[in-house]
Amino acid sequence: MPITPTRQIWMDGELVAWDDANVHVLTPTLHYGWGCFEGIRAYATDRGPAVFRLTEHIERLFRSAHIYFLEPEWTVQQVIDATKELVRVNEVESCYIRPLMYLGYGEMGLNPLPSKTKVSIAVWPWGTYLGEAAEQHGVRARVSSWQRIGANTIPPAGKGTGQYLNSSLAKVEALKAGYDEAIMLTPSGNVAEGSGENLFVVQGGVLYTPPVVDGVLAGLTRDSVMTLARDEGIEVVEKSLLRSDLYFADEVFCTGTAAEVVPMVEIDDRTVGSGVP
């Protein structure tokens, strides 16, 4: 999806003009994918833009950093404050927010430990991730031939930059085959998640979603959906799901910051429920 530039990007404490927010081509993260990031949204409210679950997103960023021995010079609170400041100075009503931790220039090789951890934050207006019609009419998905990374391959609990090679391979395969999104299975064959979304199945009025031990990201949208559903008196069960559970579902939908909540109306060329969200 195209990026709409805004004015400034936060880079390690400095507000840098959008076009000057560059890194050197020998920045090791470009070569090896050793870094981590977050995806957050701010929504327009009567009192200006409000960032959705900002603290939890930045805490997850620092948990990802912990997996990869990334040691930023900034605290969780400083990154939270910087994010709010950035939304303010860019004068956006609503936006997507992309904090990133990466390795600084100066070292090369597979040992990331000598490199300094750099932090950037960018914000830009970002529309619907799975297409204009997705939220209303739903999307068509296909189970990927690419397995979701296993817990001892690259930990799916973090948002490491390099792990998205796995997601992107699945996404590209789905798009090239004429589908909108990929569904990834675990190495043992359970349903994991979409390329950048968690999955939910509705069956007999109960909401099911794969547990975190099945290698899914503990999505914050997933958590919000589970909380809202329980508040509405809907039973929510975290349990392992089989591919065929997707075929037998009354409804399937995916959740994520970028995607928000999107129905899946067709999976592996089989209509889901009535086929209407």
Q: Does 16 bind ligand PPE (CB under 6 A)?
A: no
Q: Does 217 bind ligand PPE (CB under 6 A)?
A: yes
Choose between 70 and 97: whose C-beta lies nearer to ligand PPE.
Answer: 97
Choose between 10 and 37: whose C-beta lies nearer to ligand PPE.
Answer: 37
- Whether 118 is a known active-site residue: answer no
Binding-site member from 35, 49, 210, 256 for ligand PPE (CB under 6 A): 256
Q: Are the C-beta atoms of residues 97 and 42 closer than 8 Å to each other?
A: yes
Q: Does 214 bind ligand PPE (CB under 6 A)?
A: no
Q: Does 101 bind ligand PPE (CB under 6 A)?
A: no
SS (H, E, C) 32-48: HCCEEECCEEEEEECCE
How far apart (Å, rounded) are the C-alpha atoms in residues 277 and 138? 6
Q: Does 258 bind ligand PPE (CB under 6 A)?
A: yes
CB of residue 124 to ligand PPE, shortest distance in Å: 13
Q: Does 196 bind ligand PPE (CB under 6 A)?
A: yes
Choose between 119 and 254: whose C-beta lies nearer to ligand PPE.
Answer: 254
Residue 96 in tokens: 């997507």
CB of residue 257 to ligand PPE, shortest distance in Å: 3
Compute how many residues bind ligand PPE; rule: CB under 6 A: 16
Q: Within positions 133 to 162, which residues make up the interface with ligand PPE, using CB under 6 A?
A: none
Choose between 246 and 259: whose C-beta lies nearer to ligand PPE.
Answer: 259
Catalytic pick among 84, 116, 118, 159: 159
Q: Within positions 161 to 180, which residues make up the interface with ligand PPE, using CB under 6 A?
A: 167
Q: Does 8 bind ligand PPE (CB under 6 A)?
A: no
Which positions ≥6 away from 202 have C-beta within 8 Å? 208, 249, 250, 251, 252, 253, 273
Where along the sequence are the contacts to ligand PPE (CB under 6 A)? 39, 167, 193, 196-198, 217, 219-222, 255-259
